[in-house]
């Protein structure tokens, strides 16, 4: 995986992250780049979902991926092996990305060749929800093995997202997970949240998911 480009981002020098995030969002709007910030617990299936999504979006949306991690280049390596333009962002131990760290990653991509950038944030349901990255939309994944009570315990994550992806639906028979309860818990905090159930392994829901990403990209870049 020697071809993985690793960007060691520095912590933001901006005191007001919200204002900086809005500045980045305005810039991305003007240059017609949709940025989607993907968040979840560690191991919820962000990277596997992204590989399936990239296949489903081929020929429809020009995609690039920024993989954020505290350490390792595993995820960007997996993307590049799957033929997806990707860079690895190292957060220097930080548990989240802010807008300036996101900008440092974006500067390494050729955005004239990209309609949609997906930022795979650090696996964490708490801190990433607190920091606006400048993204056009926030998306979260809840995997079946984690349990349907997570929206009750990590409310801010669900409040800040436009889409909840329920992943690993193929293992539903082996867990006490009620997708309707998960949806109801998420909607307690965010009545407008959209929900797509998927299994990256069986392909269930991946077409509907690709449609959502394509629509949002078109909506943002119009």
**Chain contacts with a copy of itself (rule: CB under 8 A):** 41-43, 69-72, 74, 93, 95, 122-127, 130, 143, 145-147, 149-150, 152-156, 168, 170-171, 174-175
CB-wise, 172 or 195, nearer to a copy of itself? 172
Name the percent of the chain in helix, strand, coil, to the closest 5: 40, 20, 40
Query: Residue 60: helix, strand or coil by DSSP?
Result: coil
Nearest approach, Cβ of residue 82 and a copy of itself (Å)? 16
Residue 102's closest CA among 138, 78, 73?
A: 138
Q: Return the DSSP state at 142.
A: E
Spatial strand order of the sheet with 86-90 comes to: 6-8, 86-90, 63-69, 116-120, 34-40, 137-143, 163-167, 194-197
CB-wise, 25 or 150, nearer to a copy of itself? 150
Residue 125 near residue 40 (C-beta atoms within 8 A)? yes
CB-wise, 42 or 59, nearer to a copy of itself? 42
CB-wise, 33 or 41, nearer to a copy of itself? 41
CB-wise, 127 or 218, nearer to a copy of itself? 127
Q: Which two tokens stand for residue 32?
A: 């017609």
Residue 121 near residue 87 (C-beta atoms within 8 A)? no
Nearest approach, Cβ of residue 74 and a copy of itself (Å)? 6
Strand partners, 165: 141, 196
Nearest approach, Cβ of residue 44 and a copy of itself (Å)? 8
Nearest approach, Cβ of residue 126 and a copy of itself (Å)? 4
Nearest approach, Cβ of residue 75 and a copy of itself (Å)? 8
- The span from the CA of 111 to the CA of 125, in Å, is 28
- The span from the CA of 50 to the CA of 53, in Å, is 5
CB-wise, 105 or 123, nearer to a copy of itself? 123
Nearest approach, Cβ of residue 79 and a copy of itself (Å)? 14
């Amino acid at each position: 995986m020697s071809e993985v480009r690793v960007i060691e981002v520095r912590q933001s020098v901006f005191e007001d992250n919200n204002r900086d995030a809005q500045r980045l969002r305005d810039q991305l709007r003007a240059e017609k780049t949709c940025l989607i910030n993907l968040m979840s617990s560690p191991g919820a299936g962000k990277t596997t979902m992204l590989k399936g999504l990239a296949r489903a979006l081929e020929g429809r949306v020009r995609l690039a991926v920024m993989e954020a991690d505290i350490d390792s280049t595993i995820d960007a390596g997996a993307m590049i092996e799957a033929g997806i333009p990707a860079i690895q962002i190292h957060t220097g131990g930080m548990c989240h990305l802010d807008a300036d760290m996101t900008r440092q990653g974006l500067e390494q991509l050729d955005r004239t060749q990209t309609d949609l950038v997906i930022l795979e944030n650090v696996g964490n349901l708490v801190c990433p929800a607190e920091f606006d990255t400048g993204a056009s939309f926030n998306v979260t994944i809840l995997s079946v093995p984690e349990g349907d009570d997570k929206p009750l315990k990590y409310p801010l994550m669900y409040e800040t997202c436009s889409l909840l992806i329920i992943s690993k639906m193929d293992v539903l028979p082996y867990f006490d997970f009620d997708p309707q309860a998960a949806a109801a818990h998420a909607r307690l905090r965010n009545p407008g949240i959209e929900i797509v159930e998927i299994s990256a392994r069986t392909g269930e829901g991946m077409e509907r998911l690709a449609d959502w990403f394509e629509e949002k990209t078109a909506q943002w870049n119009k």
